[in-house]
Amino acid sequence: MGVRLGTVAVTGAAGRIGSAVRAGLRDEVSRLVLIDRAELTAQSPREEIHQLDLRDGEAVTAALAGADAVVHLGGIPDEAPLPDLLDENVRGTHNVLEGARRQGLRRVVLASSNHVTGFYPVGETVTPEMPVRPDGLYGVSKVAVEALGSLYADKFGLSVVCLRIGSFTDKPSEPRHLSTWLSPRDGLGFIRAALTAGDARFVIAYAVSANTHRFWDIAAGADLGYVPLDNAESCVSGSAVNGASAGSTLQGGDRATTEQTLRHT
């Protein structure tokens, strides 16, 4: 695309979304700093690997030296015991924000989740301004992630964009995805927009494809400069169940059930 993003760090670079971001941004950056506790191998002269634990604040700060922006994708991506979520998702995010503050980064992109509002009913369109209603302990940890981003924006002047990421898969694979699907192309588009948006002190936006039956308002994403291109309806057969009415009456789907949380309590 000819876009130059400077030096961008990506935490959780070995994960599903991190791997897609790595491939998608590699030719648009001057340097790509890949951070994960899993072992990675550089695939380009532009890539720099840091194998570390995000709970190690000093190591995170050192890895962010010279970066212009960071895309923070690292952490536990599913329901888990609260102490683990606080340790990895919340503490890890704090270390990334503190490292960004100390190293003078111009932009921090935080991976939040649609599960911060998973207790809204499927028939309601949710905007970022509405109160959070997490559907589980994982959602609670992401509420804290957003709160940390807000604190660092207000108190320290960091530019922070929180993306409430939908169901990131190659194609929709369950009825709920007809409302929540985020295609790899749109996922990269939202992240690129979050990195390049001009005036963004603190922004929360839903990152979801242009699904006919989506639960969430995407105006904030358009304000960042990205309008999604894909629609889950075009990826499934005509006999597929309407995602807005199938299964659970709550937007979080199975995550909103008591069993999903009780097993980790």
Q: 3-state DSSP call for residue 171?
A: coil
The pLDDT of residue 246: 53
Rounded alpha-carbon distances, angstroms, from residue 165 to 37, 41, 105, 114, 128: 22, 27, 23, 6, 12
The pLDDT of residue 247: 63
Structure tokens at 173: 């694979």
Q: In degrees rounded to 5, what are phi and psi of residue 113?
A: -150, 150
Integer Cα distance of 18 and 36 in angstroms = 9
Cβ atoms of residues 44 and 13 within 8 Å: no
Placement of tokens 């005036």 in the chain: 199
The CA-based angle 194-243-204, given to 5 degrees, is 20
Structure tokens at 206: 């839903």
The pLDDT of residue 1: 41
Structure tokens at 70: 């960071």
Q: Which residues have a catalytic role annotated?
A: 138
Cβ atoms of residues 118 and 78 within 8 Å: no
Cβ atoms of residues 256 and 119 within 8 Å: yes
The pLDDT of residue 239: 43
Indicate the pTM of the whole model. Answer: 0.95
Residues lower than pLDDT 50 in the chain: 1-2, 238-245
Count Cβ atoms below 10 Å from residue 130 Cβ, excluding itself: 13
Convert the pLDDT of each residue in 89-122 to its tens digit. Answer: 999 999 999 999 999 999 999 999 999 999 999 9
The pLDDT of residue 43: 95
Structure tokens at 135: 């559907």
Q: 3-state DSSP call for residue 165?
A: strand
Query: Which residue segments constitute the domains of the chain, with CATH numbers given?
Result: 7-262 (3.40.50.720)
